[in-house]
């Protein structure tokens, strides 16, 4: 896989994404683009017409257990091997692996020994 170690995405998962997306629109100028999740919308926050800055998501469904902080998603060569390395190095796996889009990739929330969270994807 190319781009191993690259930060691929950032998002924020909160109880009320509708209010929070408006906060970031007012404060930093990102324009929210609705992303249908079925019975509600999450938001892709756009820097301009072509470039996404990240996402603001509702803490619902599979995202209900995510911490309300900006999470970065980092590409790894082998997700299962990296999850095992996380545990071996004193970290924690938080929740289950989640499906990423329709390309067969997955991601998972980890916590390092200092308590910081990030997503790894592969």
What pLDDT digit, counting tens, does each position of 63-112 carry? Answer: 898 999 999 999 999 999 999 999 999 999 999 999 887 888 999 999 99
Report field, pTM of the whole predicted structure over 0.95? no
Band of pLDDT at residue 1, cut at 50, 70 and 90: very low
Q: Please check whether residue 102 lies inside any domain of the structure.
A: yes
Q: Which residues contact 45 (CB under 8 A, 6 or more apart)?
A: 21, 24, 25, 30, 31, 32, 33, 52, 53, 54, 55, 56
The reply to whether 2 falls in a domain is no
pLDDT average, residue stretch 23-51: 96
Q: Measured between alpha carbons, how far is 75 from 63 in angstroms, rounded to an integer? A: 19
Number of residues assigned to the chain:
122
Q: Is residue 46 part of a domain?
A: yes
Number of domains observed in the structure of the chain: 1
Identify the CATH number of the domain in which residue 93 sits: 3.10.180.10
Closest CA to 48 of 31, 34, 26: 31
């Amino acid at each position: 896989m190319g781009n191993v170690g690259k930060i691929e995405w950032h998002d924020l998962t909160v109880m009320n994404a509708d209010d929070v997306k408006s906060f970031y629109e007012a404060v930093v100028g990102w324009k929210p683009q609705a992303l249908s999740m079925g019975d509600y919308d999450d938001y892709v926050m756009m820097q301009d017409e072509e470039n996404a800055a990240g996402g603001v998501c509702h803490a619902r469904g599979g995202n209900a257990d995510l911490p309300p902080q900006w999470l970065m998603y980092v590409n790894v060569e082998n997700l299962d091997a990296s999850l095992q390395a996380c545990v071996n190095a004193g970290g924690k796996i938080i929740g289950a692996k989640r499906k990423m889009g329709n390309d067969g990739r997955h991601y998972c929330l980890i916590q390092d020994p200092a308590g910081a969270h990030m997503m790894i994807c592969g």
